[in-house]
């Protein structure tokens, strides 16, 4: 696994925050408690929803906490590709095309050799194996190369042309609670299926069951008591606690270096009689 140099890029495309690098995805999960959701699929099997792959989509909250902590930066992916390809020199373009042609030829040669090996093995099993001859170089003109479709923009685009976005990801009102739980070492995933903002785990979701169903509220926000009753009953029914919390904006605004963690208060509700 390749080492990741921080800060790493989070691609911003059509309002979504995406990670395309497998090493960056592993690093964010292992080192920074950020899971995201895999959304990649195969074009001709677009309905499959079990084994999704890259890219990994991050919640705006996950992207923002990584940027605030200096672990990542937001990359304006559209502008980077637009300016990069329009301003690419003829020499750079020809070099990239030549490299793809060479790679396609190498793949075609490897495929032909594998086919010949399978044929020789089949003939040998039938007792019809031909006499062994010295291997010969396959002439390039006698072989159709494979056409390569690049899966990454690099090294076609030089990384120094990346366009860094100056704006921070916009986050919902529940972000202070998310940031607070993240600072305590918890993992959070979207909680839509439980009717809350986040499902919170004490460790990696691949190893642990979630402990909390979490909803973030404004400090002075009024809420219906029946929502607390329903959340507590649901949480207890699925062996979790229902957790609500919010940030005291007055206390947070008094700190010049950013909202302190002490400005967030959280409360858990659990039905003891169930």
pLDDT tier for residue 126 given thresholds of 50, 70 and 90: confident
Angle (nearest 5°) at CA 4 between 54 and 68: 85
β-sheet bridge partners, residue 17: 12, 58
Is residue 32 part of the annotated active site? The answer reads: no
Average pLDDT over residues 153-161: 69
Please provide the average confidence, as pLDDT, over all residues in the chain. 84
Let me know: does 270 contact 235? Beta carbons within 8 Å.
Answer: yes
Residue 136 has pLDDT above 80, yes or no: no
Alpha-carbon distances of 78 from 162, 163, 166, 187, rounded to whole Å: 10, 9, 14, 30
Lowest mean pLDDT among 44-58, 108-122, 151-165, 210-224: 151-165
Q: Per the structure, how many domains does the chain have?
A: 3
Residue 274 has pLDDT above 60, yes or no: no
Name residues whose C-beta falls within 8 Å of residue 44's C-beta, 6 or more positions apart in sequence.
none
Statement to judge: residues 200 and 272 lie in one domain:
yes
Is residue 201 part of the annotated active site? The answer reads: yes
What's the domain range around 223? 172-274
pLDDT tier for residue 133 given thresholds of 50, 70 and 90: low
Q: What is the pLDDT of residue 158?
A: 67
CATH code, domain carrying 185: 3.40.1350.10
Q: Is residue 152 part of a domain?
A: no
Average pLDDT over residues 74-102: 84
What one-character DSSP code corresponds to residue 169? Answer: P
Q: What is the pLDDT of residue 165?
A: 80
Helix (H) or strand (E) holding 251: helix 249-253
- Tokens standing for residue 172: 């919902």
- For 31, the 3-state DSSP assignment is helix
Let me know: does 156 contact 150? Beta carbons within 8 Å.
Answer: yes
Find the catalytic residue in 209, 211, 239, 242. 209
- Tokens standing for residue 9: 């890029």
Q: What is the pLDDT of residue 256?
A: 62
Statement to judge: residues 14 and 104 lie in one domain:
no
Residue 235 has pLDDT above 90, yes or no: no
CA distance 104 to 147: 6
Statement to judge: residues 198 and 221 lie in one domain:
yes
CA distance 58 to 41: 16
Statement to judge: residues 126 and 48 lie in one domain:
no
Q: Is the peptide bond before 256 cis (omega within 30 degrees of 0)?
A: no
Statement to judge: residues 36 and 100 lie in one domain:
no
Statement to judge: residues 28 and 100 lie in one domain:
no
- Tokens standing for residue 260: 């302190």
Q: 257 versus 195: which is more confidently predicted?
A: 195
Residue 88 has pLDDT above 70, yes or no: yes
pLDDT (tens digit per residue) in 26-62 = 999 999 999 999 988 876 766 666 678 889 999 999 9
Statement to judge: residues 165 and 68 lie in one domain:
yes
Find the catalytic residue in 201, 211, 239, 242. 201
Within 172-255, where are the H helices?
175-183, 225-237, 249-253
Statement to judge: residues 55 and 99 lie in one domain:
no
Average pLDDT over residues 178-185: 94
Find the catalytic residue in 198, 211, 240, 242. 240
pLDDT tier for residue 259 given thresholds of 50, 70 and 90: low
Statement to judge: residues 79 and 96 lie in one domain:
no
pLDDT tier for residue 261 given thresholds of 50, 70 and 90: low
CA distance 266 to 125: 71
Q: Which residues of 241-274 are buried (b: 16+ CB within 10 A; e: fewer)?
A: bbbbbbbbeeebeeeeeebeeebbeeebbeeeee
Is residue 240 part of the annotated active site? The answer reads: yes
């Amino acid at each position: 696994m390749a080492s990741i140099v921080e800060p790493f890029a989070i691609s911003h495309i059509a309002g979504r925050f995406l990670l395309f690098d497998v090493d960056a995805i592993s690093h964010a999960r292992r080192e920074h408690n950020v899971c995201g959701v895999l959304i990649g699929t195969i074009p001709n099997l677009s309905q499959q929803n079990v084994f999704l792959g890259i890219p990994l989509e991050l919640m705006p909250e996950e992207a923002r906490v990584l940027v605030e902590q200096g672990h990542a930066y937001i990359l304006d992916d559209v502008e980077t590709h637009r300016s990069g390809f329009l301003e690419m020199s003829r020499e750079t373009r020809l070099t990239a095309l030549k490299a793809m042609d060479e790679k396609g030829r190498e793949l075609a040669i490897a495929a032909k050799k594998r086919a010949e090996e399978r044929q020789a093995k089949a003939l040998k099993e039938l007792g019809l194996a031909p006499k062994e001859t010295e291997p010969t170089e396959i002439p390039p003109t006698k072989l159709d190369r494979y056409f390569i479709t690049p899966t990454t923009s690099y090294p076609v685009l030089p990384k120094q042309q990346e366009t860094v976005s100056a704006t921070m990801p916009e986050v919902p009102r529940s972000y202070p609670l998310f940031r607070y739980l993240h600072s305590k070492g918890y993992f959070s995933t979207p909680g839509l299926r439980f009717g809350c903002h986040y499902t919170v785990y004490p460790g990696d979701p691949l190893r642990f069951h979630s402990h909390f169903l979490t909803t973030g509220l404004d400090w002075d926000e009024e809420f219906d008591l029946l929502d607390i009753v329903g959340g507590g009953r649901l949480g207890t029914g699925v062996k979790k606690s229902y957790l609500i919390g919010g940030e005291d904006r007055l206390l947070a605004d008094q700190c010049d270096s950013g909202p302190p963690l002490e400005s967030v208060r959280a409360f858990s509700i659990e039905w003891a009689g169930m």
